[in-house]
Amino acid sequence: KAVIEFKDVKKVYPNGTVGLKNINLSLYEGEFVVVVGLSGAGKSTLLRTVNRMHDITSGDLLIEGQSIVNLKGKALRNLRRKIGMIFQGFNLVKRASVQRNVLSGRVGYYPTWKSVLGLFSKEDKQKAVEALKRVNMASKIYTRADELSGGQQQRVAIARTFMQDPTIILADEPIASLDPKTTKSVMDDLKQLNKDFNMTVLANLHSVDLALEYADRIIGLRAGELVYDKPIAEVSRSD
Ligand code: ADP
Ligand code: ADP
Least confident of 48-52, 118-122, 157-161: 118-122
Q: What is the pTM of this model?
A: 0.84
| Residue-level pLDDT at 176 | 78
| Residue-level pLDDT at 115 | 60
Q: Does residue 44 have its Cβ closer than 6 Å to ligand 2?
A: yes
Cα of 129 vs centre of ligand 1, distance in Å, is 37
Supply angle C-alpha 57, 168, 237, rounded to 5: 85
Least confident of 119-123, 151-155, 190-194, 231-235: 119-123
Model confidence at 116, pLDDT cuts 50, 70, 90, reads low
Cα of 113 vs centre of ligand 2, distance in Å, is 35
Model confidence at 113, pLDDT cuts 50, 70, 90, reads low
Least confident of 79-88, 123-132, 151-160, 173-182: 173-182
Model confidence at 52, pLDDT cuts 50, 70, 90, reads very high
Is pLDDT of 232 > 60?
Answer: yes
- Per-residue pLDDT averaged across 116-128, rounded? 81
- Percent of the chain surpassing pLDDT 90: 60
Ligand nearest to the CA of 177: 2
- Per-residue pLDDT averaged across 113-117, rounded? 62
| Residue-level pLDDT at 118 | 66
| Residue-level pLDDT at 151 | 85
What residues line ligand 1, using a CB cutoff of 6 Å? Answer: 13, 15, 17, 19, 37, 39-45
Q: How are beta strands 32-36 and 83-87 bridged, if at all?
A: unpaired
